[in-house]
């Protein structure tokens, strides 16, 4: 048994969920650029950083960002 958080082939999104929790703390909407800057500062893994970079420009709620990025924040 390993410490890998992936279950049944599902990717580990804890880092992404933690980022979104932090970014959206006390904010209802955040733009793509701010999410990306915070992702870089948090040193997200390259695959997750690429997902954030691929978000279209605009503002997102936590639910919208989570849906588009594949996180589980609700």
Q: Is residue 3 part of a domain?
A: no
Count: domains in the chain: 1
Q: Is residue 28 part of a domain?
A: yes
- Give the domain range for residue 59: 14-69
74, 63 contact by CB (below 8 A): yes
Confidence band, pLDDT 50/70/90 cuts, at residue 1: very low
Report pLDDT for 11: 57
pLDDT tens digits for range 11-57: 577 889 999 999 999 999 999 999 999 999 999 999 999 999 999 99
Measured CA to CA in angstroms, residue 26 lies from 1, 11, 23, 39 at distances of 38, 27, 9, 18
Q: Is residue 4 part of a domain?
A: no
Q: Is residue 1 part of a domain?
A: no
- How much is the pTM? 0.80
Radius of gyration of the chain (CA): 12
Q: What is the phi/psi pair of residue 21, to 5°?
A: -60, -45
Q: Is residue 8 part of a domain?
A: no
């Amino acid at each position: 048994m390993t410490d890998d958080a992936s279950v049944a082939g599902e990717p580990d999104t804890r880092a992404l969920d933690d980022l979104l929790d932090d970014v959206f703390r006390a904010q209802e909407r955040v733009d793509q650029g701010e999410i990306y800057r915070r992702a870089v500062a948090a040193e997200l893994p390259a695959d997750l950083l690429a997902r954030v970079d691929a978000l279209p420009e605009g503002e997102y709620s936590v639910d919208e960002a989570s849906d588009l990025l594949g996180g589980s924040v609700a």
